Amino acid sequence: MRRALAIFLVVVAGLGGGGRQGRAQTMSLHADLSSYLIAITTGFTGAEVVLFGVTDAPGDIVVRVTGPAMPLVVRRKEPVAGLWVNRRSMRFEDVPGYYAVAASRPDVLTAHARLAARLQLGVDNLRLESVTTAPDPETKAIFRAALIRNKQARGLFPEGVGEVTVFRSNQTRLFRTTVRFPATVPTGKYKVETLVLHQGEAIKADVHILSVGKTGISAEIFEFSRLHDILYGLAAVTGALMIGWGGAAMFRR
């Protein structure tokens, strides 16, 4: 009798838990971007993309944008005979070219601290690996912090947590956030993730790919300079000769 009751309770608990999961599956999250392509044209000074969406899942809405990863070297200047010279350096692999987080609450990283660490959410949780042997963990931490600071100064790792504006109507929420890219933004594919965090889990996710590329004359010049480098060099020399000659000829009247 007691055994049957135990089994019965386990089954009910299981059903209850499964019910929660089942409820999450019937909930929805849809996100969209105002633009899926950022075209770097001749007058490019940066860009803004609006992410918007709707969800009826409970929890905190988080948006993360990650740019293409690349290896970087961080160098530190130290005084050598009075001159400040680059000395020690550390190489970091897979550093995102851009990294931004926005959320419907500003303290999202502390409110979901363990989940954020697991998802590498937030700059401090980014696993920036270094192949250079660091003399001690403090030095590595200093270099890592310098890497983040430099990226922040260039607007490539926007500081803090951005704002996701939420409009609620009963169970359904409409949300939007603006992602800002500086002029120095690297080209490539960016991952735009929208997450709903609830009770220590990311219960919903929607992922989009945003492309940043050079278009127009700038792109063509760039391509030409790489693919047909000899012709490009000759064109550069010829063009300079023509401008120099022409300018002098024009004024010699």
Partner 1 sequence: MQVYLPVAEMAVNLFALMGLGAVAGFLSGMFGVGGGFLLTPFLIFLGVPPNVAVATQANQLVGASVSGLLGHWQRRNVDVRLGLVMLAGGTAGSLLGVLLFNLLQRLGQIDLAISILYVALLGVVGLAMVLESLVSLLWRRRAPLPLEDTAGNWRSRIPGRMYFPRSGLTISPLLPGGIGFVGGVLVAVMGIGGGFVMVPAMIYMLRMPISLVAGTSLFQILFTTAGATLLQATVNHAVDVVLAFCLLLGGVVGAQWGIRLAARVQGERARLTLGLMVGTVALKLALDLLEVPVEPFTLAPARLP
Q: Which residues bind partner 1 (CB under 8 A)?
A: 40-45, 70-78, 82-86, 89, 91-92, 143, 146-147, 149-151, 153, 183-184, 214, 217-219, 221-222, 225-226, 229-230, 232-237, 239-241, 243-248, 250-251
Smallest distance from partner 1 to CB 34, Å: 22
Tokens of residue 77, six digits:
């200047």
C-beta closer to partner 1: residue 11 or 231: 231
User: What's the rounded Cα separation, in Å, for the pair 7 and 117?
Assistant: 37
Tokens of residue 113, six digits:
């601290």
Is 213 within 8 Å of 37 (Cβ atoms)?
A: yes
Smallest distance from partner 1 to CB 50, Å: 22
Smallest distance from partner 1 to CB 231, Å: 9
C-beta closer to partner 1: residue 33 or 74: 74
C-beta closer to partner 1: residue 12 or 237: 237
Smallest distance from partner 1 to CB 87, Å: 9
C-beta closer to partner 1: residue 10 or 85: 85
Helix (H) or strand (E) holding 249: helix 229-251
Label each residue of 86-140 as H, E or C. EEEEEEEEEEECCEEEEECCCCHHHHCHHHHHHHCCCHHHCCCCECCCCCCHHHH
For residues 100-117, one letter each, b for 16 or more C-beta atoms within 10 angstroms of the residue's C-beta and e for the rest, the string is bbbbbbeebbeebeebbe
Smallest distance from partner 1 to CB 232, Å: 5
From 28, 158, 185, select the one nearest 103 (Cα to Cα): 158
